[in-house]
């Protein structure tokens, strides 16, 4: 096995094994330099556009002035982080982010789980295919488009409120009232992504051995019992994985979506970390404070991802790397 | 059989109805917008249009396509999508070929892998990225939209997994025949990886076509806005100051039918590639989720 993998261009090279470690040839730069060369462009682009900005996080500890640059701006220590936890607006923004992202995570798991079970009960293959094609579609449409459509449909004179009026109900300020805004954001996010998130559950169900159902049938289990004792247990491992991994998203409330739906009326309940950072830093020029808030989000995200990956590896035997 | 029982039949009827309603809800918004875009402006402005056009006409599309601002944005959107996909694919294909070699022939592999993967876990955030682009003098340049997004690590992992599935014997045969790594990639790996290349190119194209925020951040000259950013500014933010239209154009832009037509043209490319995309992304997701 080992000898198959060794490079045939080097016939003198002995087969590599643990026993003959002493005559293991050194990795020759002449053989691997093309590989390094191939990685070079991507490595340089990553260095400039991913690692240099990480270094730029030093701005969070400075009183950054654009005309003085990162090198000359004075250091202020943890001042911006202290301010973040004392300033009512930024505290509210963190709470909003947790609430919206938390609701999205919970329902973003429950809805695809249920939908996969329902879809699994469809026996007309053509119908099943059509359903899958249609429910995956919204995932690929950008929030600029969806935001424009939703703003139009949910406005006070839009098609939704006109239908409510026709049914004799009061119109609802979907995007103008804080609580309704949260509701709209969570529901529309689930609507956009539930189909796509069903894919992994369907994959788990495709792996269930049909003879399990046959055996249950013979034993007199009805379909509900079969669902409860065969279908659902088959989906538990992947559910655990998806649930643990989504913990890393607890501060990701969906910038694209909120930014394209919100307005000053709902800042109190709908403003999230990312939109707040954009407004304070880019629009108002408070670069250091914005960097600090953004850094808080990145660091918490990193810690949670590392923890949840470990949990997923331990409890579900799932490894990404 | 279970599906012949009365209870299950009742459930089936309920289930088919529910799933049909859910499917309708997924396409309804698009159909509504399509209907508005083909309607006369009077019924559209008084919100009479539901799912079918009233007073069918194509005036809104004629106005949209005659709008020079929309034209510029459309051209810019297409340009950015093509250039972005080209650059991104070039970087990703080269890097993922190298990463697909196993680590005992190429020992620095794991260092490179972590180097790229770490950027998926942690980032500097938008403020330092914005300052960087400003300091590099890339503001208002197409490269500000192309380069920061060029190395998509998720796509790189997908491509690497496709390359790993290529039988080792092919590579060995090629190396024995005296070809180097570049030649092997070009003449052996690429021709048999066409489905993977097509999939990842489509993903990248959809990403670039849909991206709007980088345009808002890095482009200050509205004439260089790509289509998504243009639509975000004109339709979502309704910020006409940046666009500076003349009076006639302003009247057109704010018309409901014209807005709907612009939205629909913005979605059209996605709808066109969607059937091809759908063929592959299910495989891609499962491959990404269940690796050995």
CA distance, residue A153 to nearest chain B CA (Å): 8
Reading phi first (left if > 0) and then psi (alpha if -120 to 50, else beta), residue B238 is in left
For chain B, the residue count is: 292
For residues B25 and B144, membership in a common domain is answered with no
Report the mean per-residue pLDDT for chain A: 86
CATH number for A225: 1.10.3720.10
How far are the Cα atoms of A7, A31, A227, B100 from residue A12, in angstroms, in the given order? 10, 14, 61, 25
For residues B38 and B179, membership in a common domain is answered with no
CA distance, residue B77 to nearest chain A CA (Å): 14
Interchain proximity B124–A50, CB inside 8 Å: yes
pLDDT in tens, B48-101: 788 888 888 888 898 888 888 899 999 999 999 999 999 999 999 999 999 998
CA distance, residue B82 to nearest chain A CA (Å): 18
Contacts of B111 (CB under 8 A, 6+ apart): none
Please check whether residue A258 lies inside any domain of the structure.
yes
The tokens for A301 are 């995200």
Interchain proximity A39–B99, CB inside 8 Å: yes
Scan for tokens 């014997």, then name that residue: B169
Scan for tokens 């070039």, then name that residue: B90
pLDDT in tens, A77-135: 899 999 999 988 889 999 999 999 999 999 999 999 999 999 999 989 999 999 999 99
Q: What pTM was computed for the model?
A: 0.87
Range of the domain at B3: 1-56
Task: Please compute the mean of the pLDDT values over residues B254-260 and round it to a whole number.
Answer: 84
State yes or no: pLDDT of A29 exceeds 70.
no
B100, B125, B139, B204: best to mutate for the A interface, most A CBs within 10 A: B125
Instruction: Please count the other Cβ atoms lying within 10 Å of the Cβ belonging to residue B67.
Output: 20
Scan for tokens 């139009």, then name that residue: A152
Phi and psi, residue A62, nearest 5°: -120, 170
Interchain proximity A57–B128, CB inside 8 Å: yes
A38, A120, A123, A251: best to mutate for the B interface, most B CBs within 10 A: A38
For residues B39 and B154, membership in a common domain is answered with no
Task: Please compute the mean of the pLDDT values over residues A2-9 and round it to a whole number.
Answer: 41
Interchain proximity B101–A35, CB inside 8 Å: yes
CA distance, residue B182 to nearest chain A CA (Å): 7
For residues B164 and B281, membership in a common domain is answered with yes
Chain B CA closest to residue A188: B26
CATH number for B91: 1.10.3720.10
For residues B92 and B229, membership in a common domain is answered with yes
Q: How many CA atoms lie within 13 A of A87 on its CB side?
A: 15
pLDDT of residue B7: 85
pLDDT in tens, A179-202: 999 999 999 999 999 999 998 899
Higher-pLDDT residue of A246, A42: A42
For residues B193 and B244, membership in a common domain is answered with yes
Give A-chain residues touching B172 at CB under 8 angstroms: 8
Give A-chain residues touching B168 at CB under 8 angstroms: 4-5
SS (HEC) of A17-50: CCCCHHHCCCCCHHHHHHHHHHHHHHHHHHHHHH
For residues B155 and B51, membership in a common domain is answered with no
Give the confidence band of A312 by pLDDT, cuts at 50, 70, 90: confident
CA distance, residue A33 to nearest chain B CA (Å): 10
Number of compact structural domains in chain A? 1
State the DSSP H helix or E strand holding residue A78, giving kind and residue range, or none if neither. Answer: none
Interchain proximity A305–B32, CB inside 8 Å: no
**Max avg pLDDT among A18-22, B107-111, B286-290:** B107-111
Q: What CA–CA distance (Å, rounded) separates A159 from A179?
A: 21
**Domain-terminating residue out of B56, B77, B98:** B56
The tokens for A231 are 């279908």
CA distance, residue B195 to nearest chain A CA (Å): 20
DSSP B39: S
For residues B73 and B176, membership in a common domain is answered with yes
Higher-pLDDT residue of B284, A242: A242
Give B-chain residues touching A43 at CB under 8 angstroms: 95, 112, 115
Contacts of B106 (CB under 8 A, 6+ apart): A27, A32, A35, B98
Interchain proximity A54–B128, CB inside 8 Å: yes
For residues B130 and B3, membership in a common domain is answered with no
CA distance, residue B249 to nearest chain A CA (Å): 20
Q: What CA–CA distance (Å, rounded) separates B249 from B124?
A: 40
Give B-chain residues touching A226 at CB under 8 angstroms: 2
Q: Are A59 and A287 in contact (CB under 8 A)?
A: yes
Please check whether residue A255 lies inside any domain of the structure.
yes
Interchain proximity B116–A121, CB inside 8 Å: no
Higher-pLDDT residue of B254, B147: B147
pLDDT of residue B287: 57
Contacts of A14 (CB under 8 A, 6+ apart): A20, A23, A24, A25
Q: How many separate helices (H) and strands (E) can be counted in chain B?
A: 16, 0
Interchain proximity A152–B33, CB inside 8 Å: yes
State yes or no: pLDDT of A311 exceeds 60.
yes
The tokens for A263 are 């307005």
For residues B170 and B265, membership in a common domain is answered with yes
DSSP string, B124-187: --HHHHHHHHHHTT-TT-THHHHSTTT--HHHHHHHHHHHHTS-HHHHHHHHHTT--HHHHIII
Interchain proximity B175–A141, CB inside 8 Å: no
Number of compact structural domains in chain B? 2
Interchain proximity B94–A42, CB inside 8 Å: yes
Give B-chain residues touching A191 at CB under 8 angstroms: 25-26
B124, B157, B173: best to mutate for the A interface, most A CBs within 10 A: B124
State yes or no: pLDDT of A13 exceeds 60.
no
For residues B139 and B18, membership in a common domain is answered with no
B13, B15, B128: best to mutate for the A interface, most A CBs within 10 A: B128
pLDDT of residue A41: 96
Please check whether residue A2 lies inside any domain of the structure.
no
Instruction: Please count the other Cβ atoms lying within 10 Å of the Cβ belonging to residue A36.
Output: 14
Which among A141, A148, A321 has the least Cβ separation from residue B270? A141
Chain B CA closest to residue A56: B128
For residues B189 and B132, membership in a common domain is answered with yes
Please check whether residue A66 lies inside any domain of the structure.
no
Chain B CA closest to residue A150: B29
CA distance, residue A147 to nearest chain B CA (Å): 7
Instruction: Please count the other Cβ atoms lying within 10 Å of the Cβ belonging to residue A244.
Output: 20
State yes or no: pLDDT of B288 exceeds 80.
no
Range of the domain at A148: 81-316
State yes or no: pLDDT of B35 exceeds 80.
yes
């Amino acid at each position: 096995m080992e000898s198959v993998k060794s490079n045939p261009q080097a016939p003198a090279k002995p087969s590599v094994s643990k026993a003959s470690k002493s005559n293991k040839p050194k990795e020759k730069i002449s053989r691997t330099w093309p590989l390094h060369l191939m990685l070079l462009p991507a490595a340089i682009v990553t260095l400039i556009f991913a690692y240099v900005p990480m270094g730029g996080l030093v701005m969070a500890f400075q009183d950054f002035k654009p005309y003085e640059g990162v090198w000359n701006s004075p250091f202020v220590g943890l001042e911006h982080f202290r301010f973040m936890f004392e300033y009512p607006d930024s505290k509210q923004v963190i709470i909003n982010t947790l609430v919206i992202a938390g609701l999205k995570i919970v329902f973003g798991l429950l809805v695809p789980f249920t939908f996969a079970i329902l879809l699994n009960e469809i026996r007309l293959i053509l119908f099943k295919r059509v359903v899958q094609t249609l429910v995956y579609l919204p995932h690929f449409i950008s929030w600029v488009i969806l935001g424009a459509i939703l703003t139009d449909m949910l406005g006070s004179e839009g098609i939704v409120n006109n239908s409510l009026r026709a049914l004799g109900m009061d119109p609802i300020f979907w995007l103008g009232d804080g609580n309704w805004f949260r509701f709209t954001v969570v529901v529309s996010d689930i609507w956009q992504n539930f189909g796509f998130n069903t894919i992994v559950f369907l994959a788990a169900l495709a792996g269930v051995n049909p003879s399990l159902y046959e055996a249950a049938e013979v034993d007199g289990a009805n379909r509900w019992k079969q669902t409860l004792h065969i279908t659902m247990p088959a989906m538990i491992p992947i559910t655990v994985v998806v649930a643990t991994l989504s913990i890393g998203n607890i501060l990701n409330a969906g910038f694209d979506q909120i930014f394209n739906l919100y307005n000053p009326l709902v800042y109190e309940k709908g403003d999230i970390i990312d939109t707040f950072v954009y407004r304070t830093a880019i629009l108002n020029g408070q670069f250091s404070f914005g960097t600090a808030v953004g850094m808080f989000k990145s660091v918490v995200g990193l810690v949670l991802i590392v923890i949840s990956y470990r949990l997923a590896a331990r409890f579900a035997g799932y490894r990404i790397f | 059989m279970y599906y012949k029982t009365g209870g299950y039949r009742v459930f089936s009827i309920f289930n088919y109805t529910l799933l049909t309603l859910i499917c309708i809800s997924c396409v309804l918004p698009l159909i509504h917008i399509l209907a508005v875009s083909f309607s006369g402006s009077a019924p559209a402005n008084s919100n009479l249009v539901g799912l079918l056009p009233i007073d069918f006409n194509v005036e809104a599309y004629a106005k949209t396509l005659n709008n020079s601002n929309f034209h510029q944005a459309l051209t810019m959107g297409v340009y950015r999508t093509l250039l972005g996909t080209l650059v991104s694919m070039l970087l990703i294909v080269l890097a993922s070929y190298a990463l697909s070699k196993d680590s005992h022939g190429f020992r620095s592999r794991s260092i490179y892998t972590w180097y790229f993967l770490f950027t998926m876990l942690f980032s500097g955030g938008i403020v330092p990225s914005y300052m960087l682009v400003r300091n590099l003098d890339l503001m208002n340049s197409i490269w500000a939209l192309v380069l920061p997004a060029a190395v998509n690590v998720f796509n790189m992992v997908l491509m690497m997994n496709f390359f790993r599935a290529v039988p080792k014997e092919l590579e060995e045969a090629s190396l024995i025949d005296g070809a180097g790594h570049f030649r092997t990639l070009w003449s052996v790996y690429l021709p048999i990886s066409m489905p993977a290349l097509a999939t990842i190119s489509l993903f990248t194209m959809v990403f670039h076509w849909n991206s709007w925020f980088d345009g808002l951040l890095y482009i200050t000259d509205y004439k260089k806005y790509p289509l998504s950013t243009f639509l975000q500014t004109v339709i979502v933010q309704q910020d006409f100051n940046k666009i500076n239209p003349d009076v006639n154009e302003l009247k057109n832009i704010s018309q409901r039918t014209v807005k709907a037509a612009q939205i629909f043209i913005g979605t059209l490319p996605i709808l066109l590639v969607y059937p091809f995309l759908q063929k592959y992304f299910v495989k891609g997701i499962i491959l990404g989720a269940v690796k050995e």
